[in-house]
Amino acid sequence: MQVPLVMTVIGTDRTGLVESVARLVAEHGGNWRESRMCRLGGEFAGLLRIHVPAGRQAALAQALHALQAQGLTVVVHPDATPPAAEARKLTTLELVGHDRPGIVRQITRALADQGVNVEEFSSECVSAPMTGETLFQARARLSLPGRCDAAALRRELEKIAADLMVDVTFSELAETSP
């Protein structure tokens, strides 16, 4: 029987960091299922999901914690994914505009008010092609509950976008069932 685990990994970026985690997962009979990892500044952070044979998770967790001596912090949790209670609509949200404080806060507050779950979120600041001014770009994958009025949410996001002077694109992807 395989046991699903979710891990967070953080440490100063260096060559071989991901390999050190992958080696330990493989040595303990684990299967790397999915991950999101990136370098921000000089730090490396990752979130990954693995399956490991029952009875081997404690030994794997101990081996991963030993990586702390190399400057890598690994936190291991059981993957206790709750079953979906209702059908949800998957959507994407893209935002581009001049960088300023508060953009993420205002957008995520509107999403939370409607019970929207942010499943993935990425953002960056880039130079505008012609002017060189700093632009803020964000992309999110969202899960809307069945009770959420997508049209009303779109109007609210467009109102916030107009106030912040940013462009927002809100697109439906699919519907998931419980």
Predicted TM-score (pTM) of the model is 0.80
Kindly give the parts of the chain with pLDDT less than 70: 82-85, 174-178
Of 82, 89, 95, 92, nearest in space to 143 by CA: 89
Choose one of 27, 48, 78: the last residue of a domain.
78
pLDDT tens digits, residue range 29-49? 999 999 999 999 999 999 999
How large is the greatest C-alpha to C-alpha distance in the chain, in angstroms?
A: 58
The predicted pLDDT at position 174 comes to 57
Q: Is residue 83 part of a domain?
A: no
pLDDT tens digits, residue range 91-102? 999 999 999 899
For residues 67 and 130, membership in a common domain is answered with: no
Domain count, the chain: 2
Range of the domain at 55: 2-78
Q: Is residue 94 part of a domain?
A: yes
